Structure 1
């Protein structure tokens, strides 16, 4: 997940086409890093489980985001603290539910379900016919993904949808924090608190399941690849491309997750699931492109924040 900070739309002194291509390459790299991080973390599940992996990557994310945000917590007021504390809980819950869902239903399906969070926020406040059509398309695709099958893991599907609700909450809380705290202080403080919440979790997990160096390395790599790298790369990409294009590129994540899950984790999806993922991706793309054509004097919609929220989703993947 990234913090919603204003950045220039393009880098001065560089050709527009070159700048945009550079930004697109960065966004693709960020998406690939995000899903490779999730897949790498999944390799440690057999030894330390999703909770152990999430604990380590939360600590890594906390170190990175606290260093970047440099929160001045002694200066926070009560009005600033409540959304920060809420965001810390959301961080902690989102990653645990997502990684547990990955363990139960696979990377591609779990990430696709989580992706419904920002898409729902973007569509919920819209009154445009095109967004109603997109919502119906995405809803039909979700029903297809949740359809009864001989091996349906309803708990895993429910955890994926819980992660989606957490991501939606992240976006809304980040809007509040962005208005009340400068820069990335709010996200940094929330990530730090979330990391502290996982200290007892990590101690409990590792006491019962002593980790190997390989398991710790995979979990730490997940934190770097899914938090540190996307956070920094996305911040640079937002200097190269318009925020709406960034929002459209969120659609790459479910597809990238399905491909990485297939190649690295040998998690194969049936054709019906691929078609459902494609429908959800198309719904987001059409909605974001349609929003880009709206009159510029209207206030920005949450889809922008959804786009800006991608990588720090962190503490998302």
Structure 2
């Protein structure tokens, strides 16, 4: 007999948290893209980081003076990764389009899933998820090699984010590490935001869109991912994150009136099957450990 705090019950919360994180992240990306014409990717990322710090630091109140050297180095690296991941992805989207940029970025968590898996079932699920992403985005050859390189940088940054966030969660209690990293990242982008707002003041709607991106695509996912990474292995985390393109496609169809072809809906189905399979096999392995 188990109670509400048993490992089996706690394990169910990780996947649900990841789904909520993915939905919030894609809604934030849609909000931030509306500010591109005025602020550009750099301006949106700067506002995102400042908003995240403004929300997290007063709530969490990290005790920075108590952090040791072993705790500080992953925090500082995570701060750099925050900025690099967002800036490279948004810049890639601006150059090669959302579909190809998201496909390239997904190579990061997919690589984590494949490299960390010791079970054939997880590898099959990762392959299915990758095929689904390709079907959804239908990437075409591009001559913008710099834009492609930016997408690959975003992929590497996302992979580093997965591993660093897990390390921070283990070494620092609660969400103090995430809040501290967000604050450091905000300090790095503060001069950028100041220049943009002084040289070309954006209109209220643009600011609102950028702020919305900060809350939905920074604050919520960072906290949700930190919680989930304590309950879900890094390789399974990478597989489950493949649901991001599903939400991106649905939000694009409903909010932006983007047409989805048969191949794209097929890709959505593949990703759903991959996620369901990952959850099913993980649940069976968990049951064998706890029963």
TM-score range, shorter chain: 0.7 to 0.9
Trace 1:120-159 onto structure 2 (pairs within 5 A): 120-138=111-129, 140=131, 147-149=139-141, 154-159=145-150
Aligned match of 1:73: 64
**Normalized per residue, which structure has more helix?**
2
Tell whether the 8 Å contact from 2:95 to 2:144 is kept in structure 1 after alignment: yes
Tell whether the 8 Å contact from 1:106 to 1:261 is kept in structure 2 after alignment: no
The TM-score with structure 1 as length reference comes to 0.71
CA-atom RMSD in angstroms: 3.7
- Given candidates 210, 220, 225, the residue that maps to 1:219 is 210
Structure 1: stretches of 5+ with no match in the other structure: 1-6, 13-19, 299-317
Q: Deviations over 1:107-139 (max 9, x none)?
A: 455445434433432331212222333344445
Aligned match of 1:186: 177
Aligned match of 1:47: 38
CA distance in 1: counterparts of 2:117 and 2:23, whole angstroms? 30
Number of aligned residue pairs: give it. Answer: 275
Tell whether the 8 Å contact from 1:39 to 1:107 is kept in structure 2 after alignment: no
Tell whether the 8 Å contact from 1:142 to 1:276 is kept in structure 2 after alignment: yes
Tell whether the 8 Å contact from 2:109 to 2:241 is kept in structure 1 after alignment: no
Shift of 1:79: 1.5
Structure 2: stretches of 5+ with no match in the other structure: none
Q: Deviations over 1:62-108 (max 9, x none)?
A: 12222343221122222211111100000011111222233345545
4+ residue segments displaced more than 6 Å: none
CA distance in 2: counterparts of 1:30 and 1:131, whole angstroms? 21
Do the aligned partners of residues 224 and 9 (structure 1) sit closer, same or farther apart at CA in structure 2, a change above 3 Å counting? farther
Q: Indicate whether 1:85 and 2:76 are aligned.
A: yes
Trace 1:100-249 onto structure 2 (pairs within 5 A): 100-107=91-98, 110-138=101-129, 140=131, 147-149=139-141, 154-229=145-220, 234=224
Q: Indicate whether 1:33 and 2:24 are aligned.
A: yes
Tell whether the 8 Å contact from 2:103 to 2:133 is kept in structure 1 after alignment: no
The TM-score with structure 2 as length reference comes to 0.76
Shift of 1:35: 2.0
Q: Deviations over 1:32-81 (max 9, x none)?
A: 43322211111110011111111111111112222343221122222211
